[in-house]
Chains A and B, each alone.
Chain A
């Protein structure tokens, strides 16, 4: 998957987890929490969906990498590079 495809995959997950949010103007550099209503259970949901949908494991010590879209995509790139685009 390319970074753009990974971003699209994350958007899809966020749409499931936070269906009330408008993600069209998401600023990739800004933290998710500053732009949308996400709590700790929601972050666990992101980790769970990555595991379920892409078999990607995110260990607890790496959770801090999921703060913004930019940091999430950079963190996931090596883990998802070999996955075929959907």
Chain B
């Protein structure tokens, strides 16, 4: 008889902790600024215009690309590569690890992306159209820019990292998946330091806007900062954003040995698949995903303090996720539920990692940031614990659960525990 997931007990694995964070988000280019913006209700969504689609909205990052690259490198590489380079370098600096003396062959990079290559391909085809489709003007950088490992590969090149580098395609679940992959590689002993998270350059491809528009899922609002409104009855779709968020992950013993600051411990995670539809979510599978992660963490739903939702502001998606949450959390649970996309839009491949980062501050201040822009809560999204419009002071935050779901039915959940010695 085949061995099932439930019958197999893995060996005791090393504990994995988060020791550094580098990020760029539409409302901040470091963790402190991003967290403060979430507590001060600052959005990062702006008016935006892109080829063929015209005027729309987007979350745009304004990090200093020249902090870790020269202008030639920025020109040569991709936006996702640049976001990755900024986020990875910032994470290393933030971790205060002795980077100079670190064995770079023992460093691995694991970055999730929703998609990659569309930006370059669209730009090249447009350029080609200006030359009557003469392919002799097709850019020789097309291949190195569009290979699927590009963002992680560019970061490795920039930082002299010679360990493994993975770019993981996982639609909008990708940020969590990068984190999970990094943790697993540390547990397997494949690296001693993992740079793990997700990146997105998606606002530079018109196709993503046009496709959401055709699907009836692109947000529109006269006021950009009110456009991303998960759970609100007047929500009308997704605000596409760019961003990046990378963690330095280490085995607990290594982190303790160097006296690292520990943001939290990754105690549970899960990735599963709906196998039911191209784009429509499946609440049954989403709730299973959450439950598997909680089980791995050795906790019950009643132990969860904050749940960071994936909800993107689409009519059906938000309802489906709340439906999944209802299957997991009952009325006795203390969980506070929030949403980061209401501030910064949907950072695609970076979303999972970024949305977790913005919540980690609650381990120290016990404040749960809200979901903003909920003027009228959609009754179908009403669930106990929703923190709406104003931040909520909690007594103590021990466990944060972070959901991130994506097309083709990929679901991911991570559970982070406050670290205490």
Contacts and interface: CB of A to CB of B under 8 A. Distances in A.
A binds B: yes
Question: Closest 6 A-B residue pairs measured CB to CB?
Answer: A19-B71, A20-B70, A44-B140, A20-B71, A20-B72, A52-B137
B75 A19 contact: yes
A51 B136 CA distance: 8
Contacts of B70: 20
Interface in B111-144: 131, 136-137, 139-141
Interface string B137-167: 1011100000000000000000000000000
A37 interface: yes
Contacts of A44: 140
6 contacts: A18-B72, A20-B72, A41-B140, A48-B137, A48-B139, A51-B136
Interface in A28-70: 37, 41, 44-45, 48, 51-52
A44 B75 CA distance: 15
A44 B71 CA distance: 18
A33 to B, nearest CB: 14
Q: Interface size for chain B: under 10, 10 to 19, 20 to 34, or 35 or more residues?
A: 10 to 19
A16 B70 CA distance: 13
Q: From DSSP, what is the main secondary structure of chain B's interface residues? A: helix
Q: Interface size for chain A: under 10, 10 to 19, 20 to 34, or 35 or more residues?
A: 10 to 19
Contacts of B15: none
A37 B72 CA distance: 10
Contact of B141 (A20, A41, A51): A41
Interface string A15-29: 011111000000000
A51 B137 contact: yes
B51 interface: no
Given A20-B71, A51-B136, A52-B131, 19 more contacts: A16-B75, A17-B72, A17-B75, A18-B72, A19-B71, A19-B72, A19-B75, A20-B70, A20-B72, A37-B72, A41-B76, A41-B140, A41-B141, A44-B140, A45-B140, A48-B137, A48-B139, A51-B137, A52-B137
Contacts of A16: 75
Nearest to B136: A51
Contacts, number: 23
Interface of A: 16-20, 37, 41, 44-45, 48, 51-52
Interface of B: 70-72, 75-76, 131, 136-137, 139-141
Contacts of B140: 41, 44-45, 48
B203 to A, nearest CB: 23
A41 to B, nearest CB: 7
Contacts of B72: 17-20, 37
B375 to A, nearest CB: 47
A45 B140 CA distance: 8
Nearest to B134: A51
B50 to A, nearest CB: 23
**Of A17, A51, A52, which is in contact with the most chain B CB atoms at under 10 Å from its CB?**
A52
B379 to A, nearest CB: 55
A39 B8 CA distance: 53
A18 B116 CA distance: 26
B34 to A, nearest CB: 30
Nearest to B66: A20
A20 B74 CA distance: 11
A52 B132 CA distance: 12
B215 to A, nearest CB: 36
Nearest to A44: B140
A13 B227 CA distance: 42
B72 to A, nearest CB: 5
A19 B76 CA distance: 11
Nearest to B74: A19
B155 to A, nearest CB: 19
**Of B72, B76, B136, B139, which is in contact with the most chain A CB atoms at under 10 Å from its CB?**
B72
Contacts of B141: 41
Nearest to B131: A52
Contacts of B136: 51
